[in-house]
């Protein structure tokens, strides 16, 4: 299965036990964990990397046929969730998961990522 492959030495670049020890220390997760999250939550993750010369997009779970998508911005250190604010007085109403077919949401998330990139 995919999950077994992600937990393999080939995918992790080291024995799984060593990787588990490393990730529990001061090292943060990255692509491996995002793949696992996408699979576990059956949601496509679209990550906008803003720490490069230009905004780069990496997707996890894009070929799995998931019905929902989540947008993240990665600044080289942290991953931040992109949300659509519905009501400034009611953050619980913010949209965090979008329809995977919603191309308007993709463009809005890209615009947020581009603005964050320019502000760096």
pLDDT for 4 equals: 65
Residue 72's pLDDT band (cuts 50, 70, 90): very high
In eight-state DSSP terms, residue 27 is P
Residue 60 has pLDDT above 90, yes or no: yes
What does the alpha-carbon distance between residue 64 and residue 66 come to, in Å, rounded to a whole number?
6
Q: Which token pair is 48?
A: 């906008």
Q: What are the distances in angstroms from CA 2 to CA 5, 11, 38, 40, 51? A: 5, 11, 11, 11, 29
Whole-model pTM?
0.82
């Amino acid at each position: 299965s995919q999950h077994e492959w992600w937990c393999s030495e080939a995918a992790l670049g080291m024995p799984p036990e060593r990787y588990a020890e490393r990730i529990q220390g001061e090292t943060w997760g990255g692509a491996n964990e995002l793949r696992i999250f996408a699979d576990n939550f059956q949601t496509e993750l679209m990550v906008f990397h803003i720490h490069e010369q230009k905004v780069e997009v990496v997707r996890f779970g894009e070929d799995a046929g998931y019905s929902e998508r989540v947008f993240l911005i990665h600044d080289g250190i942290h991953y931040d969730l992109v949300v659509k604010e519905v009501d400034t007085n009611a953050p619980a109403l913010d949209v965090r998961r979008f329809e995977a077919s919603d191309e308007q949401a993709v463009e809005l998330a890209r615009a947020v990522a581009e603005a964050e990139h320019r502000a760096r």
